[in-house]
A = this chain, B = another copy of it.
Amino acid sequence: MKNIISKLNKAFESRIRLGIMSILSVNDSADFNTMKQLMDLTDGNLASHLKALEGLGYIQSTKQFIGRKPNTTYTITEEGQKAFKEHLNALEELIR
């Protein structure tokens, strides 16, 4: 019996991870504060999910200073784009 949920990626289980990957799939990049506002999150909550996705190689960050303020911008990697697409296909297959 085919396991119907095996192709769903555990890394994208949380709503916040789905939100991050969606934002970075449709934008060239997004910075920390923009994502924080878009999903109404605390710094710590967003940071932990970003760190996990970066650790998996699905997103990457660039740190810079805007004036004297540190700013971190995120982009999706090719690997992230591929994994997220597979996850969405598996979701569609499951719910059709």
Which residues does A use to contact B, with CB under 8 Å? 1, 3-6, 8, 10, 13-16, 18-19, 22-23, 25, 37-40, 88, 91, 94-95
Contacts and interface: CB of A to CB of B under 8 A. Distances in A.
Contacts of A1: 37-38
A14 B8 CA distance: 10
Given A4-B22, A18-B95, 10 more contacts: A3-B40, A4-B38, A6-B40, A8-B15, A8-B18, A13-B13, A13-B14, A18-B94, A19-B94, A88-B95
Contacts of A16: 5
A15 B15 contact: no
A5 B13 contact: no
